Amino acid sequence: MPSVVDWGRVEYVAALDRMRALVAARRRGAIDDTLIFVEHPPVVTIGIEGDDGAAERSGLPVVRVERGGKSTYHGPGQLVGYPIVDLGARHRDVRRFVHELEGVIIASLRPFGVRGEHVSGRRGVWVDGERKIASIGIAVDHWVTFHGFALNVDVDLTAFASFHPCGFDGNVMTSLRAELGRPVGIDEVRPVVQREWVRVFATPLAAPPAVA
């Protein structure tokens, strides 16, 4: 059974150090697959695909990290999830893992009446194919995943306007609050995401078909 831990609100760099320590523990077999829930004070992170320079000019703290993707924002009112998962038990299929992670978010939005979608060629979860409600960027170390997803629950969307999140104009970003037209608490959303996470990742993948 995969574990779930909630770190509350933690500075990004401190959380990054703790996350990397758990990756090492998972590689040793000292812990099971684990999903970390966390919120961060305002920060922009830049993945391995880089940024056009707008993030550095945003006035927000900037941290460069080893995850996939470009730049994104983290801040209060955003539910961040860091899955520490051994892909050795999941056929070392990174693309499928990302698709499943998007699926967890899509399923978690349904109880709130929001229809999230996969969009071909665009990582993350989208609403009506036009508004991005969750960003996803992962890294893999010896087939153990880290970094993860950021679901906009009741986050300040104006922060995205100060740079180009994931290479898009900032107005592409949306949140549960924006979609529903009412305040939404992290505490409303976290247990739903946890339930969907366990549903998807508690079940081992079937063996891949034999090659003829």
What amino acid positions are annotated as catalytic residues?
166
The CA–CA distances, whole Å, from 66 to 49, 113, 156 equal 9, 34, 25
Beta bridge partners of 173: 132
In a 13 Å sphere around the CA of 167, the CA atoms on its Cβ side amount to 10
DSSP E strands in the chain: the ranges are 3-9, 34-39, 43-46, 62-64, 71-74, 78-84, 116-119, 122-127, 131-141, 144-152
* E strand or H helix that includes residue 108: helix 94-109
Label residues 129-164 b or e (16+ Cβ within 10 Å = b).
Answer: eebbbbbbbbbbeeebbbbbbbbbbbbebebbebbb
Residue 179 burial by CB count (10 A; 0-12/13-18/19+): exposed, middle or buried? buried
The residue with tokens 């976290």 is 190
